[in-house]
Structure 1
Amino acid sequence: MRLSVALLLLLLAAGAGLGWCLHWLKKPLPLAEAGLSIELKPGDSLVRVAHRLRSEGVLHHPQILVAYGRLTGATGIKVGEYKVAPGTSPRSLLEQLVRGDVVSYQVTLVEGWTYAQALAALHAESRLTAQLADLSVERQLEVLDMDVDHPEGWFFPDTYRFTRGMSDVDILRQAHRRMRDLLEREWAARAPGLPYANAYEALIMASIVERETGQPAERRQIAGVFVRRLQNNMRLQTDPTIIYGLGSDFDGNIRRRHLRQATPYNTYVIRGLPPTPIALPGREAIYATLHPDDSEALYFVAKGDGSHQFSNTLEEHNKAVRRYQIVRRKKDYRSAPQPKN
């Protein structure tokens, strides 16, 4: 009789203890009004994280959470940064860590940026690891696992989401895959009769179109001018290529000596396309490059408001130059291709 009573009391005590544990698992954690940020790093286990939270005064009974996790098979917590909101219970915290509901951020690579500008933007984001910092371009290509000779133009400009612990390499690999996929699709659907030997030449042209375009509606017109100039063996004579070739020597002004300066990117001197893209072209610039307009324009001049005046003949072009550059005393807009020498 006494043994039965003792066993009953033991079972009641165990039940009460289990009930208390289950109640504690549902009880809100003692968090401040702003909540809590937790960062789980590679190698962090549920045991380690639970005891770390105890030392921070967040989780008073880590052994209960660990035991619950083991009993339910919820021990596979994910690496990353977590925002724990006020009112979160130990059980819901564990569920959040197992689901991997990490905080995400975003960074934007802008159409028309150079590779150097895109890399600088990534390195300015403190939450991204800068794996490519201080590496040569050749070494960067190796780390990125890119089978190209030059990185310029090979990254699709867009907004990319990331979590703490990711790196510049993670973002650029995504951007490179997207650019390759897009270029492959657009190249396969290109208009007939274009003067490009391969998709890479189209990428080079698209980067020029991107840098020359002030008004989105003009992309196909600008592409058309450049396509016809290539077809007629005329020099492209476009300022953005000169600026790219000057690199850090460009101070904001293109001078006459720059027009004569021999660089692989000076399209006032060379015929055909420069050796690489000069910027990150967007989807619309690539489409325009592969589907240019079918007008007869061979020239264009900037009006000063971001748009251009297109002309079929040199005579018309010279009149437009006098109207928008000389008479109105605008800044020297040499972006319009000049006649063949």
Structure 2
Amino acid sequence: MFIDRVRIFVRGGRGGDGCVSFRREKHVPRGGPDGGDGGKGGDVIARVDSSMRTLLDFRYRQHYRAQAGKPGQGKRMTGRNGEDTIIKVPAGTVIEDADTHEIIADLTEEAEEIVVARGGRGGKGNYAFRSAVNQAPRKATRGQPGEERNLWLTLKLIADVGLVGLPNAGKSTMLRSLSDAHPVVADYPFSTIDPVLGMVKVGKGESFCMVDIPGLIEGAHEGRGLGIKFLRHIERCRVLIFVIDLAAEASPDEAYRQLIEEMRQYNVELVKKPKLIALNKADMIDSESLRKVNDMISGGAFDTDVFVVSALSKNGLDKLVFKAYSELKKLDAMVGKGTSKSNDTISE
């Protein structure tokens, strides 16, 4: 099951209480104060773990608390600090305060971490309150409570290339043909209800990550169909491939305009990303229809490079893949990062 948005509660550990104690030794009948401070409470830390792919684990556990600090002891011994609680999250997780809606962090790199709830300070022992006028204080303070908050965790998949299209356009078939992924393929709309990632090999030692985004319909930016839930995954894709069904009732240019408009309504920055068009299912139309498609392309109906392909028979896919890889390399040259690590993030 693919889970990409969950609400959790986190609480830092309470600080340990300070200690009231007096030095007691042989031949020292009235030793001074020696009560130690309490230990600090543990923090709750969110840390990226590359082995995680979804937020499914949080479906079964929503409360995370760090360990409390230990109380201080005599002989000015400070209590032990509470152990931190580590919350493992997949790369691409956005952490938001559920009450204030403040974005706390956007974690994208392996082992990247942030403290989401700090532990409380330990209380002061009576040794800290000694003075010239009060040499035997019987005062100590309690440890402070840890920070607590409700959080939204939202996963935005990180991929180099995203496949975007209307339902049943052949995106899943294309991903199966190009990568090691095995998404569900069926002859009905919304056969893909979860994003699916796959690695596409380009040459010897060269590859990039591709994601199949579930089909978008009119009104997706308002939440219709699978809507906003999956539009957000497009935000981190560096290059977009619009997969359009040539055998559908809608004309290719009309389908393309519909997809562009849905993305623009959701986030205008999405349409500024590098994009390619794959006119799919060329093996399912006759020669006359194919001629009209070529006339449409040569007539300037599209604003970017167009490839007529068949995902099922793999015809035309090589040129599409190399063009997508070329676009990724251009982006790498611009930002000075490696293809496998760089990604474009759009602020909300």
Query: TM-score, length-normalised on structure 1?
Result: 0.29
* TM-score normalised to structure 2 length: 0.28
